[in-house]
Chain A
Amino acid sequence: MSAAPAITARGLRRYFADGQVRALDGVDIDVPAGASVAITGASGSGKTTLLYALAGLLGLDAGRVDIAGTRPHSPADWAALRRDRIGLVFQDAWLLPALTARQNVEIAIQGPRLSVAARRARAEALLRRVNAEGFAARRPAQLSGGERQRVAVARGLANRPEILLADEPTGELDHANSQHIADLLFDLRRSEGLTLLIVTHEGALARRCALQFVMHDGRGGFEARGAAR
């Protein structure tokens, strides 16, 4: 694990309903590069809001986020970070229904120097990496929940990110598929050297992470655990 933090966030605050709902209420977090972190907590504690804030998907009322020493200031800065350094996996996959599995991965592969053929080859390689090559030509509606989630993981890796943020990646899956996706994420973390943040309410998945960041009523902190795996 590198000593330089992959993510540093300070004083993250996000209120909803005119301040009645404090989804984030002054959260500080430092995520070491290459670490695996489970963000846990009860429903409504602010787990997903924190993840979205760290990905720049959320407008904050206060606070700042640095990604590998870079501080994004504008939506364009955040878009560039998500394009180059941050991969995202959502709970219900959020694949684009008009596109096939391969095209859903391809759409996240960006870079002006990449030819159409190169993009396609990379998308196919990513689908192979997550054992999804067999349904590359199918649309999301023709895939099971586990298959969709594998495609979503491949899409999250499209631009060789340093950080992968996953929001309840196994939340909608049965035990076997859940286990499979979890294995895949940790395998990728090891092989790609990713920093992995997973929002989860599943104890088993949380325990596989080196660090656990527990959210409670919009506030959070690391729980003392064993060494990072």
Chain B
Amino acid sequence: MTVLLAGLRNLAYWQPRNLGALLGITIAIASLVALVGLARGVQETLLSALENRGTDVMVTEAGVLDLISSIVPETLAPDLAVAPGVVAVAPELARLTTLADGRSVAVVAWPAGSFPWESLTLTEGRLPGADEGPGSGEGHVVVLGESLARRMQAGIGDRITLFHAPFEVVGLVTSPALLSRSAAYARLEDVQALTFREGQATSFNIQTAPGRAEAAAKAIGARFPDLSVETSAALADGYLFGRIANILAFAISSVALVSSVLVIFNTMSTAVNARRGEIAILSAVGWDRWRIVAMLLIEGSVISMIAGAAGIVAGTLMAQAVAGLPQVVGFVQPVIGAGLLATAFAVSVGVGLLGAFVPAVRAVRRPPADILRGH
């Protein structure tokens, strides 16, 4: 009987044992794919939101942990606008509020007609006008990111409640950034009034002439040493939460990888160790060591490949399911690329083979009598 046939027959026969190994490796690979995919998703979501703001320089309060905690006076806008290279300045007030269903939503407010609105792509309806809102005798208006609109099942003309006040949905927008697609956008003066922050902003978005961002940031920083002034690129790189997300993604990926390796190795080793009796018999009937090892590797590779593929599918579904949970939806989209899938499959097959190889070599090196007689 050939090595290949013997291996395949064993696989077909030892279904419960092989199913156990298959399940163990599938779970390990699924966890690896889901955890790394979600961790990378958090990282990507955050950085993508910063990089897609259409802003060249950001000005915030110095020393704050996150952008929403920052407070800067709106009255600084004219002084910022005269800095060299600056084309336009737009104050921004970003707040988190709670929807009727208890979920959190980010509300970003800019002056109507200011340039940050251009970072959004209108898919339906319109953007808020400068001459509407409570000041003109009308109600508040809001534009919803398409993910948020879908989540709220809201469309043009619907009324939603933000900051305990009614808002009419006048437009739907999209953006490459998930966080932007999951936010609501309103006029600055409306949100300032509703959150008791008249005259305040959380940041200034500054648009510069091409290639002048760094020079403008340097000039503004020199004039306003108490403010944090950074180009968007530098902000994305150095943003504390971004750095935390990077560290978190690395830590989770490392832990997921190491635990997967250990689980797969242990699962496969257990499966091979359970067959020491068969190994001893094959040796007793004259199979040489490497023929026996080859048979076990064939079995191990088939199990690892099937489990690896199943784990990838399960992990992708798990990550999507987690991203769709009410507490998470709109804040993270798993990033599961070809690199991660190839890594997961390679880990499954590579560690699976190693997990079969090490105990197989150990078993064939033992004199068969030790196993046959139970020594």
| Residues of A bordering B, CB below 8 Å | 16, 48-49, 52, 55, 57-59, 75-76, 79-84, 88, 90, 94-99, 103, 106-110, 116, 119, 155, 158-159
Known: A106-B1, A107-B1, A119-B1. A94 touches B281 (CB 8 A): yes
| Residues of B bordering A, CB below 8 Å | 1-2, 6, 9-10, 12-14, 277-278, 280-289, 365, 367-370, 372-373, 375
Known: A48-B373, A79-B283. A98 touches B277 (CB 8 A): no
6 A-B pairs with least C-beta separation: A83-B286, A98-B13, A108-B285, A82-B286, A52-B369, A58-B369
Q: Which residues of A contact B286 (CB under 8 A)?
A: 79-84, 108, 110, 159
Q: Which residues of B contact A159 (CB under 8 A)?
A: 286
Q: Which residues of A contact B368 (CB under 8 A)?
A: 52, 57
Q: Which residues of A contact B367 (CB under 8 A)?
A: 57-59
- Pair count A-B, CB < 8 A: 83
Nearest B-chain residue to A156, judged by Cβ: B285
Give Cα A158 to B285, complex, Å: 9
Q: Which residues of B contact A55 (CB under 8 A)?
A: 284
Give 26 CB contacts A-B under 8 Å: A48-B373, A52-B372, A52-B373, A58-B369, A59-B369, A59-B370, A75-B288, A75-B365, A79-B286, A79-B288, A80-B288, A83-B288, A88-B284, A88-B285, A90-B372, A94-B284, A96-B281, A98-B12, A99-B13, A103-B9, A106-B1, A107-B1, A107-B285, A108-B285, A119-B1, A158-B285
Q: Are B284 and A82 in contact (CB under 8 A)?
A: yes
Give Cα A98 to B9, complex, Å: 7
Q: Which residues of B contact A106 (CB under 8 A)?
A: 1
Q: Which residues of A contact B284 (CB under 8 A)?
A: 55, 57, 82, 88, 90, 94
Q: Which residues of B contact A96 (CB under 8 A)?
A: 278, 281-282
Give Cα A59 to B369, complex, Å: 8
Give Cα A6 to B375, complex, Å: 29
Please give the distance in Å from A41's CB to the nearest CB on chain B. 16
Which residue of B282, B289, B365 contacts A107 across the interface (Cβ within 8 Å)? B282
Give Cα A119 to B5, complex, Å: 13
Give Cα A97 to B285, complex, Å: 15
Q: Which residues of A contact B287 (CB under 8 A)?
A: 79, 83, 110
Give Cα A79 to B286, complex, Å: 4
Known: A76-B289, A79-B283. A103 touches B372 (CB 8 A): no
Q: Which residues of B contact A110 (CB under 8 A)?
A: 286-287
Q: A96-B281, A110-B287 are in contact. List 17 more A-B contacts (CB 8 A).
A: A57-B280, A57-B368, A59-B367, A59-B369, A75-B288, A75-B289, A75-B365, A76-B288, A81-B286, A83-B287, A88-B284, A90-B372, A94-B281, A103-B1, A106-B1, A107-B285, A116-B2
Q: Are A155 and B285 in contact (CB under 8 A)?
A: yes
Give Cα A107 to B279, complex, Å: 12
Please give the distance in Å from A2's CB to the nearest CB on chain B. 23
Known: A79-B283, A155-B285. A94 touches B375 (CB 8 A): no
Give Cα A167 to B219, complex, Å: 94
Nearest A-chain residue to B281, judged by Cβ: A94
Please give the distance in Å from B331's CB to the nearest CB on chain A. 50
Please give the distance in Å from A66's CB to the nearest CB on chain B. 18
Please give the distance in Å from A140's CB to the nearest CB on chain B. 11
Q: Are B289 and A94 in contact (CB under 8 A)?
A: no
Q: Which residues of B contact A79 (CB under 8 A)?
A: 283, 286-289
Nearest B-chain residue to A96, judged by Cβ: B278
